[in-house]
Amino acid sequence: MAWTRDEMAARAARELKDGFYVNLGIGIPTLVANYIPQGMKVVLQSENGMLGMGPFPLEGEEDPDLINAGKQTITQLPISSYFSSSDSFGMIRGGHIDLSILGGMEVSENGDLANWMVPGKMVKGMGGAMDLVAGVKRVVVVMEHNSKDGAAKFKSRCELPLTGANVVDMVISDLAVFARPDRKSPFKLLELAPGVTADELKSRTSASYQV
């Protein structure tokens, strides 16, 4: 049984540590906020210019001047601060954010990430993804293990244009978790989703990894 989106988010939340400043991408990464362990202090950064992102507002309390990077209405907390986009990316590029959790289209065995464009299709833009992977200390990618047509997304080389070269530290898919201790090391299989065999995983992955 593959992990659900929520189970993948819960697994990614186990990478959080007390006191971390964290940036969450759009999609499954956003769900990670629902799984921050009780009693753990994690400060969420939103790259449009906020530290200490709070939950969605109660109905009727939405403020159009207060949105996250996904353009969703949010709230502030007692710890919150606001700043400009250049200060925001100063935090990101300057290595002040501890962890970035983001989605992926492809990850290669040497840690390259592609998640912003498919040639021939309308390109919406990279937003802040290239800055995040280039600057944040640790990068975790959460993605389905295979694309809709069954192709492996964790592969020997990315075929899509890159978001960053050698930037990924951990891959959490619906089938397995892979990680590496540093960016010179190969990825190692850490966990398998319940009922997924090592052979099945291998047949659905084109990247090489240590077992």
Q: Which residues sit at the interface with other proteins, rule CB under 8 A?
A: 46-50, 55-59, 61-74, 76, 82-86, 88-90, 92-93, 112, 122-131, 134-135, 161-166
The distance of closest approach from Cβ of residue 163 to other proteins in the complex, given in angstroms and rounded to an integer, is 7
The distance of closest approach from Cβ of residue 70 to other proteins in the complex, given in angstroms and rounded to an integer, is 6
The distance of closest approach from Cβ of residue 204 to other proteins in the complex, given in angstroms and rounded to an integer, is 27
| CA 195 to chain CA mean position, Å | 25
| Catalytic residue (choose from 47, 59, 159, 191) | 47
Please give the C-alpha separations between residue 63 and each of 20, 68, 79, in angstroms, as whole numbers.
27, 11, 18
* Interstrand relation of 50-53 and 43-46 (parallel, antiparallel or unpaired): antiparallel
Nearest in space to 21 (alpha carbons), one of 44, 50, 49, 41: 44
CA distance 172 to 104: 10
Please give the C-alpha separations between residue 31 and each of 72, 103, 134, 179, in angstroms, as whole numbers.
13, 12, 23, 21
Shorter beta-carbon distance to other proteins: residue 88 or 173: 88
What separation, in Å, do the N-terminal and C-terminal C-alpha atoms of the chain show? 20
Q: Are 26 and 47 in contact (CB under 8 A)?
A: no
CA distance 47 to 68: 8
The distance of closest approach from Cβ of residue 73 to other proteins in the complex, given in angstroms and rounded to an integer, is 5
Shorter beta-carbon distance to other proteins: residue 82 or 144: 82
Contacts of 60 (CB under 8 A, 6+ apart): none
Shorter beta-carbon distance to other proteins: residue 162 or 201: 162
Shorter beta-carbon distance to other proteins: residue 3 or 21: 21
Write out the H or E segment, with its range, that includes residue 28. Answer: helix 28-31
The distance of closest approach from Cβ of residue 72 to other proteins in the complex, given in angstroms and rounded to an integer, is 4
Shorter beta-carbon distance to other proteins: residue 59 or 199: 59
Would you call 61 a catalytic residue per the annotation? no
Catalytic residues: 47
